[in-house]
Amino acid sequence: MSDSSPGSPGRRTVLCGVALTGAAGLGLTACSGGDGGRAPAVPTAPVDLGAADAVPVGGARLYREKKLVVSQPSEGDYKAFSAVCTHAGCVLTSVKELEADCTCHGSLFDTTSGEVLAGPAGAPLPSVPVRVENGRLVAGPGD
């Protein structure tokens, strides 16, 4: 009964390949793991996300090209997470208020905690350190 892990590598590869067809190659790293999601989904160096005020208070912004999602539940309180879906590695699709969705299979995440609001994803989005430097958002490890 439990002789296979959730989502065989072959099936995942096919799904990611389909997802990438219309995304001009974005998310290739996220889909190329095939190892159950062990590929790094968080930045290993600081990432400049641009103006901090681009993230609305009480809302979130998706940085698909950087594979990050940032929310600002209250003024000046920023939360950042990997935007690589913990289900099968697609990059999240969009945000609405404080929720982010992955249309690959329909998972929904809370952008203030990373928690799963709706599956099939079973694990929260990994948290990423974020700070404001001279009015710009910088995610990832500090210097």
Residues that bind ligand FES (CB under 6 A): 85, 87-90, 102, 104-107, 120-121
Q: CA 71, CA 73: separation in Å to the nearest integer?
A: 6
Q: Which DSSP helix (H) or strand (E) runs through 60? A: strand 59-63
Q: How far is the CB of 84 from ligand FES (least distance, A)?
A: 9
Measured from the CB atom, the residue of 56 and 106 that comes closer to ligand FES is 106
Measured from the CB atom, the residue of 37 and 78 that comes closer to ligand FES is 37
Q: CA 127, CA 129: separation in Å to the nearest integer?
A: 7
Contacts of 5 (CB under 8 A, 6+ apart): 36
Measured from the CB atom, the residue of 88 and 98 that comes closer to ligand FES is 88
Q: How far is the CB of 59 from ligand FES (least distance, A)?
A: 21
125, 114 contact by CB (below 8 A): yes
Q: How far is the CB of 45 from ligand FES (least distance, A)?
A: 25
